[in-house]
Structure 1
């Protein structure tokens, strides 16, 4: 980072990224992407990449709308870096296996993971945690 992050810039970036996340993960993502993104091999990789592409575009639109509405002028390289962090971390989570292995390593209850909504909760909290990091980068 080049200096302190302005709290208002961070708040604007995080709000935009969080809203975009909710829209992109639940509305923009196609059913085909949702069904296939965790599959092994190229079918899963391609579905996940397509989802992450539309997810990242949604985030870019949200940041652009915040900038247009408020006069905020974020550094474009910082925006690109923040979006890249968001995209890569989203892809890793949505391939499913990495988060499942982490959950198993941490001793999460398999019944909670499979039937109690645990995998979804861990997925969403992973995404929001990385959105926090991405917003810090965007706000630099």
Structure 2
């Protein structure tokens, strides 16, 4: 097997592990309180920006711990031999951007800046804002998997 095919296998496995862990962290591990509170800002009719930051930070901590546990366990079981420094860099990228997006105000501003405000505003709990949030996370997880799989 060539170094290129080995790297491609490491990338595919790292992406699958990160993606699965992200879904578990976002939908099973995240508490109801975190989900409801993480996007709160002072301009939201008296809702506390501090409470939103705390809830988002707590969510991202458990989300990142879930990704770390799955990625490290999967790497060991599959014999991927991912470099710890690359795994840390991948998880840092995932955590930082996840916090940024889950505060909601930033992702909404991005959607507005690129003309997606109507799509973002589509109603329901699984509306446009959720779809844009998830696609943003998928894109970042792809980049994180590339980092984790690199030399």
Q: TM-score, normalised by structure 1?
A: 0.92
Q: What is the rounded CA distance, in whole Å, between the counterparts of 2:56 and 2:120 in structure 1?
A: 25
Pairwise CA distance, 1:42:
1.2
- CA-based RMSD of the aligned residues comes to 1.7
Q: Offset at 1:65? A: 1.9
Query: Equivalents in 2 of 1:109, 1:81: separation in Å?
Result: 32
**Greater C-alpha radius of gyration:** 2
Q: Does 1:125 align with 2:135?
A: yes
**CA-CA distance at 1:77 after TM superposition:** 0.4
TM-score when normalising by structure 2: 0.86
CA distance in 2, matches of 1:27, 1:95: 19
Counterparts of 1:107 and 1:77, CA distance in 2? 38
Structure 2 residue runs of 5 or longer lacking an equivalent are: 42-48
CA–CA distance in structure 2, aligned partners of residues 87 and 122 of structure 1? 17
Distance 1:129 1:60 in 2: 18
Higher RCO structure (Cα 8 Å, ≥6 apart): 1
Which has the larger displacement, 45-54 or 100-109?
100-109
Q: Which residue of 2 aligns with 1:27?
A: 28
1:17–1:39 CA distance, 2 compared to 1 (3 A): same
Stretches of structure 1 lacking an aligned partner (at least 5 in a row): none
Match of 1:6 in 2: 7
After TM superposition, list the pairs within 5 Å mapping 1:1-140 onto structure 2. 6-40=7-41, 41-110=49-118, 113-115=121-123, 117-140=127-150
Matched residues, number: 138
Cα 1:110/1:74, change in 2 over 3 Å: same
CA deviation map 1:80-115 (0-9, x unaligned) = 000000000100000000011111122225366241
